[in-house]
Amino acid sequence: MRFFVDTADVAAIAELNDLGMVDGVTTNPSLILKSGRNILEVTKEICSIVSGPVSAEVVALKAEDMIAEGRKLAEIAENIAVKVPLTWDGLKTCKVLSDDGLMVNVTLCFSANQALLAAKAGATFISPFIGRLDDINLDGLELISDIRQIYDNYGFDTQILAASIRTANHVTQCALIGADVMTAPPSVIKALATHVLTEKGLDQFTKDWAQTGQKII
């Protein structure tokens, strides 16, 4: 499973990228706001660090305007994936930009039927939001599983990009289900390294080592 990092924080992206943890990046208008940066400038900087797909989201609501924004975003770098919302106009935009040969990430997906439409419109990525479904007591992971089965049933090559990931368990379950990609904030990716027994074991080893009175260097 490929790891995308869900942030527009350039320093955080660079740190994870140096460790080989970043296969791509996803941003959205809220993350651009949080970064305090200009969308074109920060996206260009991210694309200079990361060679994999970098999603940049359109903000217009009508297809004609979305298409114009998408083409402008795609000019930033060759690895831009234009992110469009899962609305009828977003699907029209997806079809046009996909036919142009651009990568398109269809976002804000909350149902298997929406994912089916995105695949038929030629989406490169579909982004089902797990955490936001869990927030309203629905099963986000079940949606990932349903989309996996539907795409496999019919051989769609749209990649499932599990989004709105909030926990380490979300990551494990997405990997078991067979999501192609997951995108998570840097804090969640870093948290994957932690385990209470790792900390306990290391604490014991450190104490025992001190008692040996030895040094390696």
Residues that bind ligand E4P (CB under 6 A): 6, 26, 28, 107, 127, 129, 131-132, 163-164, 183
The residues that are catalytic are 83
Cβ proximity to ligand E4P: between 114 and 127 the closer is 127
- Least Å from the CB of residue 51 to ligand E4P: 19
Cβ proximity to ligand E4P: between 136 and 196 the closer is 136
Residues of 15-45 as b/e, b for ≥16 C-beta within 10 angstroms?
A: ebbeeebbbbbbbbeebbeebebebeebbbb
- Least Å from the CB of residue 82 to ligand E4P: 13
- Least Å from the CB of residue 162 to ligand E4P: 9
- Least Å from the CB of residue 122 to ligand E4P: 19
Cβ proximity to ligand E4P: between 61 and 202 the closer is 61
Closest CA to 146 of 123, 166, 162, 122: 162
Cβ proximity to ligand E4P: between 98 and 127 the closer is 127
Q: DSSP labels for 93-159?
A: HHHHHHHTT-EEEEEEE-SHHHHHHHHHTT-SEEEEBHHHHHHTT--HHHHHHHHHHHHHHHT---E
Q: DSSP labels for 28-68?
A: -HHHHHHHTS-HHHHHHHHHHH--S-EEEE---SSHHHHHH
